[in-house]
Structure 1
Amino acid sequence: MVGSVQDPVTSSVVTDPRQAVAAAMEGAATAWLAALAADQRGDALFDSPLLPDADAERVRWYYTPTDHGGLALRHQSAHQQSLAMQLVASGLSRAGYATVSTVVGLENVLDQVEGWTARWARERGRDPGLYWIRVFGVPGGPVWGWRFGGHHISLNNLIVDGRLVSTTPCFIGADPASTLLLGGAPLRPLGGIEDVARNLVRSFTAEQRKHALLHESAISDIVSGNRARVTHGDTMMHMQDLWRGQFEDPALNKLVDDIDERAEQASGYTEADHAALAITVPPKGICARDLDSTQRADLRRLIALYTGRVATAMTELHFARYATDAVLDVTWFGWAGGMAPDDPHYYRIQGPDLLIEYDNTQRQANHAHAIWRDLSADFGFDTLAEHRKHHSH
């Protein structure tokens, strides 16, 4: 039975995919929290999203190597880590979990790439143990959620009245984006979503490409950044704004400034260029209405690779939603940069409630970021507001 699970309390079979995944998350979160010591629970468990202060923390998310908030894996026993990863897996497809796990492990590779010199105000700058998990509210309560995040990972989930109502923002990055394994095969955690998009833009006619091209050069990062809400006119956030506050060490603040400056120099972007890449309504690029049937199928496949990150029962819902012609016909695709595999590039897919961004520009186009946002459901803002309205005292 697709999307079904047995409720651990009533033993009845739940068939609503949103309820089924929420029930699996509840069981995993409850088991993890029960295994923690009292001092660990202080970091792991936060107040309910119904409380404004708690919700302000819930929607504060990052993809840089900063403190993401919660209980870090390195501060957990092996058994506790296993239970934590079971919670992470409850919100992901098998391929999504494998990708997230690979990105976490890439911290070891990145440490070597950088000559073991990165620090970022912690004992080890690139640390696969510094991925944080935090639960907001009581699992199984009317409103609760959880977050898993660290360098290049941010997974955000909200459950209201026993239903999973939000799985976005959902960020996965990779640095290096490609590295060789024994035998010469490349390890490319985000290779699929890069290749499908490149093949799509390469299939465009000259006229289609003219409409799809946002800029001859690639912007240096995703434009939406780590904003809690995305709005018309948003331009790229700079590196300095992507951390949990400033560093106490002035040298680290200067390092962030230098990284941002190098990225901007490499892209060649001016304020006018950033304005040209701003997120707008209506969207920029080429509308799916102007693609042929093969190209439309490729765009559907590309979107499905993003929505396919989450639990399988949920991916089927998302695919059915975005696969319809009515939705695809108001979806736009834009590309910036070159089309060779080693060219810095960026692409964006945008619809009324869909925003996907991908960039592979930094470190000589070997450092990729990929974000999927459901603008009608990010962080469950609207559902949470409705719940507050109907349950206020």
Structure 2
Amino acid sequence: MTAEFFEAPDTIRRMLVTTWALFNSMDSTQRRECSFPMDDPGRTDWDFIPKPDRQGIPLWRLTSHQRTLVHSLLSAGLSEQGYTQTLQVMAMENILRERETEMLGIATGDFRSSDQYFLAVYGRPGFEDTWGWRFLGHHVSLSYTIVEQRWLAATPCNLGAQPARAGVLAPLASEEDQAFALLGSLSPGQRDETVIHTVAPADYATRQVPFIGKVEYPDHVDLGIPWYQITEEDREALKFSKDDPKGICGSALSTEQGDALIGIVGTYLKRMPDELALKQLERVEREGLDNLWFCWAGGQKHGTSHYYRIQGSHLLIEFDNAIDNGNHIHSIWRDYRNDLGHDLLADHYERERTTGHHLTTRLQSTVPEE
């Protein structure tokens, strides 16, 4: 595993100190609400739909100062681009509240709220330690795994938007517009390779699994939205295969088109601080366009149900805007081997098993008294 692409000690230091400040501001009840063991099964449930049993402490349970600290933690874990996108996604809950009150009633104010985002911390945030944190709510799912205060995994990285655009709010416009521009630049032959199906999936082809398998099929329907459904034939056409990417290979694109494809990838990676994002982008560029694939499904204009996927040797990007005729976006950046820090943690635990860990050995006598 190329661990150097995950080194982000400066970002981790900011996260650690901010988490300490937040913990120090909390009473014992608040601390219990947001603290979980590293091996808690809930850590792998990064699903971003509204749930009645969400893990962590919601923003509404925090004081004004504590909310400021949570936002400082978010700012530490995101670039300015990523942080402002996240704020816009959360602000969309206010738009949804006003649009849905007539249908759902007065309780919509509790259901659609920018306070219904939850912070959870896993493990022990400490020097040279291994821990994680997550910020989760409707259309926002940000998961961070920190290993030995040196390596940082920041996937799955999910942002959505419902509606896609409202007034000046358009948090995922760049991800959408760049892809439409690339699609529009393709020749008829290139477009025939790129467009894999006329129907977009209801949600991601890889769904919300914690670890991507060799082959994944989209669900027939997105959870809670039964009016948009796809068939078995659609699922087969849209399936994800790690070893058999669909669409057009980056090497079949012109120089300008290839740059545009890398540009879309960069838009996703640069949701994160430069310390991590630039390393990840270097990894993509080093592997080259021969290892990058772009596919499209559904409509080919704004205002239609559409979907695209970018697939590399380690990276997966999915963008789905199928619901409500292209007015409900889900977008995600994933890593096959390091979502939720999978390989980074496996390597860490193996080192710890064979050589011990500094956090333990520094407290043990080299030659104990008999």
Describe the shift of the 1:39–1:178 C-alpha distance in structure 2 as closer, same or farther (beyond 3 A): same
Match of 2:158 in 1: 171
1:60 and 2:22 equivalent? no
1:164 Cα offset (Å): 3.2
TM-score (norm 1): 0.84
Query: Could you say what secondary structure the match of 1:332 adopts?
Result: strand
TM-score by length of 2: 0.89
CA distance in 1, matches of 2:102, 2:114: 14
How do residues 80-229 of structure 1 correspond to structure 2 at under 5 angstroms?
80-115=66-101, 117-118=103-104, 124-141=110-127, 142-180=129-167, 186-229=168-211
Which residue is 1:370 aligned to? 331
Alignment of 1:1-393 (within 5 A): 18-47=8-37, 49=38, 52=39, 54=40, 56-66=41-51, 67-115=53-101, 117-118=103-104, 124-141=110-127, 142-180=129-167, 186-237=168-219, 256=224, 259-260=225-226, 262-264=227-229, 269-280=230-241, 281-324=243-286, 326-392=287-353
The 3-state SS of whatever aligns with 1:81 is: helix
What is aligned with 1:8? none
Amino acid at match of 1:299: L
Tell me, yes or no, if the aligned pair for 1:21 and 1:164 is still in contact at 8 Å: no
Please give the secondary structure, in 1, of the residue aligned with 2:155.
coil
Given the superposition, is the C-alpha separation of residues 239 and 70 from structure 1 closer, same or farther in structure 2, using an over 3 Å criterion? farther
Cα deviation for residue 116 of structure 1 reads 5.2
Contact 1:111–1:118 (CA under 8 A) maintained in structure 2: no
Quote how far apart the aligned CAs of 1:121 are.
9.0
Partner of 2:368: none
Separation in 2, partners of 1:312, 1:372: 16
Rate the CA distance shift 1:229–1:17 in 2: closer, same or farther, 3 A: closer
Query: Structure 1's 223 and 140: CA in aligned 2 closer, same or farther, altered over 3 A?
Result: same
In structure 2, the CA distance between the partners of 1:328 and 1:68, relative to structure 1 (3 Å rule), is farther
Q: Is the 8 A contact 1:214 1:285 kept in 2?
A: yes
CA contact (8 A) 2:202 2:221 kept: no
Determine if contact 2:120/2:133 at 8 Å carries over to the other structure: yes
SS, match of residue 350 in structure 1: strand
Deviation at 1:376, TM superposition (A): 2.4
Answer yes or no: is the 8 Å Cα contact 2:156–2:332 preserved in 1.
Answer: yes
In structure 2, give the amino acid aligned to 1:292: S
Gap change, CA 1:238 and 1:338, over 3 Å in 2: closer
Listed as ranges, the gaps of 5+ residues in structure 1 are: 1-15, 181-185, 243-255
Pairwise CA distance, 1:71: 0.5
- Aligned pair count reads 346
User: 2:250 is aligned with what amino acid?
Assistant: A
How far is the alpha carbon of 1:238 from its aligned partner?
5.4
The SS at the match of 1:362 is coil
Change (3 A) 1:148 1:335: same
Q: For structure 2, which runs of at least 5 residues remain unmatched after alignment?
A: 1-5, 357-370
Say whether the 8 Å CA contact 2:202–2:220 is kept in structure 1: no
Maintained 8 Å contact 1:177/1:367: yes
